């Protein structure tokens, strides 16, 4: 059965292209040491076997720390490695099909680029929403127009699912995202490309925690 009561506050999305030569496991290890609470393994151009091997090594590390591993896009790989969940974008496998395959065994996150996306995903049984993009970001070039904080607030009013903001987020704007309705902040380059991913995660986590208390 899927994990309950997940802390989505600091959600890392991997990207080896930004990792300065470090492996995903090295980045994940440092990020978790700094306070990351969820890890999404994202590989768009990786052979299936390599993707599986990465997922297995990262899962083994995360399992000891009770931190969920989410697989981006690939429902088959999520099943094969018994990950904790899968994250699907608007051009990935439809939620209804993923639910048909996975049933209630895994967390299913959905990227929502509009209020309509968010409402549809909630009705369809998604477990959380990635609100994307909050701001324009160089790590993804095929995204919808930036929603901004106003778009985030509107989605927060429309649905009750946990919301994770993503897109151009860092220590300077993470607090605003939390204060405007997000349960968590998803980052890529702010941790992956940092000289010291553990320190970057620690700083982000502190900003998020302070915003949650406010």
Catalytic residues: 42, 111, 140
Q: What is the C-alpha to C-alpha distance for residues 202 and 5, in angstroms, rounded to an integer?
A: 22
User: CB of 83 within 8 A of CB of 106?
Assistant: yes
Give 3-state DSSP helix, strand, coil % of the chain, rounded to 5: 45, 15, 40
Rg, Å, the chain Cα set: 16
Contact 179, 156 (CB under 8 A): no
Q: Nearest Cα to 152, choosing from 176, 168, 134, 170? A: 134
Degrees to nearest 5, angle at CA 192 with 190 and 197: 85
Q: Which residues contact 195 (CB under 8 A, 6 or more apart)?
A: 20
């Amino acid at each position: 059965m899927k994990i309950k009561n997940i802390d989505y506050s600091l959600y890392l999305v991997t990207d080896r292209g930004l990792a300065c030569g470090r492996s995903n496991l090295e980045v994940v290890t440092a990020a978790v040491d700094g306070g990351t609470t969820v890890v999404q393994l994202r590989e768009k151009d990786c052979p299936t076997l390599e993707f599986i091997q990465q997922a297995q090594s990262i899962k083994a590390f995360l399992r000891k720390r009770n931190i969920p591993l989410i697989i981006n896009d690939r429902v088959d790989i999520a099943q094969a490695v018994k990950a904790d969940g899968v994250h699907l974008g608007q051009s990935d496998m439809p939620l209804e099909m993923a639910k048909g395959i996975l049933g209630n065994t895994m967390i299913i996150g959905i990227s929502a680029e509009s209020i309509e996306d968010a409402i549809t995903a909630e009705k369809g049984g998604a477990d959380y929403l990635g609100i994307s993009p909050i701001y324009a970001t160089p790590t993804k070039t095929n995204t919808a127009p930036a929603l901004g904080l106003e778009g985030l607030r509107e989605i927060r009013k429309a649905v009750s699912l946990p919301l994770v903001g993503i897109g151009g987020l860092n220590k300077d704007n993470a607090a605003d995202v939390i204060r405007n309705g997000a349960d968590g902040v998803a980052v890529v380059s702010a941790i992956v490309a940092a000289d010291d991913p553990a320190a970057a995660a620690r700083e982000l986590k502190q900003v998020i925690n302070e915003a949650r208390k406010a």
